[in-house]
Structure formats: C-alpha cells, structure tokens
Structure 1
C-alpha cells in the first residue's frame, strides 16, 4: 500500500513546467511536493525561496536535508522517488504569496507556487502526548468544507522523510496496527495506533491530499513520545531522595556543631575563654593542698607537752581533814 501511494504521489505530482495554487489554513500547515528526475538530479542542490517583487528570497538550499523538525520550514529529499517535499508549519497571513522550488540547473524550469492562507480558527491544533509501549494512541483532526472528496491521510515526519502511514477515500481503513475512521457528517478524521512501540514516537500530521494540483493541507499535529513504564517516575523519586538525604545530612551537621559548642562552654563557665586564669587557679589549688599537708605533718611530729607536779605535793600522801 505504501508503494502504491508513493507511485500515486509521483504520478499525480504537477510537473516542473506548471505553476500551482496551494490553499492553506491559518494555524495549519502545507506540504508542497516537487518532482524531479532522480537519475539526472540526484546530486543537485534543491532550493525553496519566496518571490519578492523581482527577487526570490532564499529560505533554504541544500543537498542533504537535515532541518530541525521544530522549525517553521522543513524539507526532505526523497531521491529514490525523485520527490522534494517542503513542509511549512503554523501558517499565518504573512506566509501567503508566491514561492519557487527547484534544482540548481539553468536548463531545468522551477516550480512556481502561489500560497493562499485562509482563516482557520478551528485548525492548526498542536499537542504532545506521552504513552507507554503496548498502549493505544488516538489522533484526530477536523477538516473544513470542500474536502469531502479528497484523500484523508495521516503522515509521519522523520529527519529523512515525510510519508503517509495510512490514507483512505472511504470512511474506514485498516493497516497493520493503524485504523483510520472518517466521519463525513462531522468532518473529523480519527486515527488510532494499537500496541504502541518505542519506534512509533515522532511527529504526526493529520490532513487531506489534494489531487489537482497535488499538495497536502494539514490541520493538526501530534508529537508522540513513547517511554518505558515508570522510567520518568523512578528518576524523579531518585532525585527527591537524594535531595532529602543532603538536607538531613546538612541539618545533622549543624545540630552537632551547636551541641558540641554548648557542651564545651558548659564545662568551664567561670573561666570560659581564659586558659591563663584556669592554670593559675589549678596552681593555687595544689599549693594550698601542699601547705595543708605540711602543717599536718609538722603538728604530728611535735613531742607531747607534760605539766610538772607541784613541789608541795611531792612525796606527800593526801589525807582527809578531820
């Protein structure tokens, strides 16, 4: 189906000798396809410029397309198919005007494009969605009146290609894990992807393919990110735990320093901050102890005193008076 669609794009692509009129919607996007001979111009530089009076202001010119997908302009060169695709995003009234696309060869006539940007209050919705492997993802967009008979498509954009992953002219289409539903009553395109894998992540575009002339009008974008379950939450929890441990360690160190300072101050309140006075007090204390010990030894060493007996009592016997 993808090969048939690619061949359809090439066969329906307006040749370089014709000019095209492209209709886009404010806030939406457009994809302009330029067909060239891949055998003759596979190594030639392709360019895209906006015509201003008599000059063509170059937007970009390159051989290998490696533009930022987040930018307003993005281009890829499908060399095997010979199709150079230019994506213009987030359209505004200022983007309207005349453009030129081609290869750097004087003998090759470029493709002139007239871009008309219409009011699109309900278009140009862009959102991001995060899911996990095995889940089901849905993506939808609303298209304006006048596109009932156009091909409804959902595209995926990579750094090397812009390709339709599923498309239909009818109300429903199934392709592998993709299902496309079209509500003609509500002008709504719904696409779902079942059993999502990590490789499904990327930029998706929802729109319609105009056959004559050949271009794509985009009405909505989805940036899909597929992550393993719990990977982001585990990282967040690890960060929170690390911060908590650092805070606990910091508070513990502060309390320890405060406690040690108070304990040191409380041990010698009278002599706090004066080591000289403390040494003097210790010396006086030990001298006092030594003096006391010396005095005690001296008193103990003295000979006991004796009182002499009175002479008049010597050799006499006491008698009681009559």
Structure 2
C-alpha cells in the first residue's frame, strides 16, 4: 500500500522520466537532465528503496553547485541540472530520483558494471617537460561511440579536453581511437604543473530527456621535477595499470649494476682461492718428509685443477 502511495505521489508531483544509465566500477557518470536549475528552489538527489527514497543530498542554496562526498549536483552553462557521481562502487547501483523541490523530477536507474580495465583510480607519475602516451582499453560496446577525455579539478569541475569526433588536437594534447583493438590513445607533450589533475576517459550517451557521460577510466597524473637532465618518454600500456617505462629502465640499470658487482666480486674470490690453493700445493711438495722435492707438473697440475673444480661444484 505504501509503495502504491509513493507511485501516486510521484505521478502527481510533476513529470517523471526514467532512464537507464550505465557506469563502470572505479569510473564516474555525469547525468544531464532537461530540468532547468533554479537557485530559488531546493535541490536534491535520493536513492529509492522498497519503502522510501533516502536523501543523499538535499539543500536550499542559491549557489550553482552542491556536493556531498562522491555526489555533486550543479548546473552547466546552459543552466541544465547535472548529477555527478565519482569513483563508482557496485553498491551505487540502483534507482535515483533527483530534481528541484517537489517538481521537475527525473528518475534514473544506474547499473554499475565490473570493469577490470578501470578498477580504482590509477596514478601515473611523470616529469616536467616530459612527453607521455597514455593508452586505455575500453568496453567493446563502446566501439562506435565518440570517446571523450575530460579533466577534473579539486572542486570536481569538469573541463573537456579532447574527443574523437571533432577535437582530435588541443594544444599539447592529442587523441586517437583504434576501434579494432578497442584502445584509446592520448598523447601529452611538454608536461607542466597544471597538468597534475584527474583525467576522465569515457563516452557520451545521448537520447531521451536524460543524457549522460559514462567514464570507464579515471587517472591521476602526478608531475614532478626530473631527477636528471634526461626526459624519458612515459608510456602507459593498455592494461589495468598505467605505468612508466622510465621506471623499468631505472630498475633494469640497477639490477644489471648489482649483477656486475656480484660477478666481479665472485671472480676475485675465485682467483684468490685458486692462487692460495696453488701456493699450498707447491709448499706441500717442497716440505714433504723434510725434503726438497721437484713436483711432477704433468700430474700435480691435474690434481690442483681437480681440487679447484671439486671445490667450485
């Protein structure tokens, strides 16, 4: 009976639209509705359950945005009501209702898919002045979708940088899409301190009164001063982890250097051992039975070799 009453209240309170929104674990979604943001009316978003709709955000504010943790409500330049949910978790799946006051209501059903290529937000370390290439796998269902790369500042404000439709190049940034391999590639040249932000990689889903961006990957670029005058190129391969090839070079050099030191030390020890044992054998030949003996080198050299060989084994 209570459920029926809720449905009736929803219907009489204003127009309701229900749209399915697909998100990915570790990623984000931005839901853009046709509702016009009104600074004089309360804004809210709640998650529906069997009995009621539990508030996540409900605020009376004249500001153009309101945020609580991973959830944010704000308006864009066209004054549309937008919902942002960051760092999606499986438990975020469900039906949400959002709008202004008791009118202008939208309802969306969020599905959170498991995505091994995104996971938790990744961190990629780079150097000032470095040129980097980032490659990311994307879900097969997005093969024909337009791909977007946006950046997010500390206030969760999103700025579009690139897309695979009309904005392939943007200053130091460029993008390409290998649809056969399902790989999105982004190049950034001459890294700067201002490039140290969160980057969102995703697609646009239009149609209906509720449109949304689904971001299948979030990544933080950490920009530091270079340790040397050399600026190696950082490459992130299409896997769950974005990594730096320069790290592998440093590790390889360290490993090779350590192996060379160990090898050199071992050769010195073997040489000293052979030299000592040769001297001991010669000394024993000269002092055996208190007589000065002349060793038979054809026989005793073989004995010395066998002794060394045995000791090495």
TM-score tier after normalising by the smaller chain length: 0.5 to 0.7
**CA-to-partner distance for each residue in 1:171-206, whole Å, 9 max, x for gaps?**
x81122110111101111111222222222211111
Residues 102-251 of structure 1 aligned to structure 2 (within 5 Å): 102-103=99-100, 105-106=101-102, 108-124=103-119, 126-158=121-153, 159=155, 161-169=157-165, 173-213=168-208, 214-229=211-226
> Pick from 53, 76, 100: which aligns with 2:97?
100
Residues 301-312 of structure 1 aligned to structure 2 (within 5 Å): none
SS at match of 1:109: strand
Q: Does the Cα contact within 8 Å between 2:76 and 2:82 map onto a contact in 1?
A: no
Q: Does the Cα contact within 8 Å between 1:90 and 1:124 map onto a contact in 2?
A: no
Q: Does the Cα contact within 8 Å between 2:174 and 2:187 map onto a contact in 1?
A: yes
Q: Offset of 1:207 from its aligned partner? A: 1.0
Question: Deviation above 6 Å: which 4+ runs of structure 1?
Answer: none
Over 3 Å counting, the alpha-carbon distance change for 1:83 and 1:191 in structure 2 is farther
Over 3 Å counting, the alpha-carbon distance change for 1:66 and 1:195 in structure 2 is farther
**CA-to-partner distance for each residue in 1:230-259, whole Å, 9 max, x for gaps?**
6xxxxxxxxxxxxxxxxxxxxxxxxxxxxx
TM-score of the aligned structures, taking structure 1 as reference length: 0.57
> Pick from 54, 57, 60: which aligns with 2:57?
60
Does 2:74 match 1:77? Answer: yes
- The whole-number CA distance in structure 1 between the counterparts of 2:22 and 2:144 is 16
Query: Which protein shows a greater Rg?
Result: 1
- The whole-number CA distance in structure 2 between the counterparts of 1:43 and 1:173 is 40
Q: Which residue does 1:282 correspond to in 2? A: none
SS at match of 1:50: strand
- The whole-number CA distance in structure 1 between the counterparts of 2:136 and 2:43 is 32
- The whole-number CA distance in structure 2 between the counterparts of 1:135 and 1:84 is 39
Q: Does the Cα contact within 8 Å between 2:136 and 2:183 map onto a contact in 1?
A: yes
Cα root mean square deviation, aligned: 2.7
Q: Does the Cα contact within 8 Å between 2:200 and 2:218 map onto a contact in 1?
A: yes
TM-score of the aligned structures, taking structure 2 as reference length: 0.58
- The whole-number CA distance in structure 2 between the counterparts of 1:137 and 1:164 is 19
Does 2:77 match 1:87? Answer: no
Instruction: Provide structure 1 residue ranges, at least 5 long, that are not aligned to the other structure.
Output: 1-15, 231-322
Q: Offset of 1:229 from its aligned partner? A: 4.4
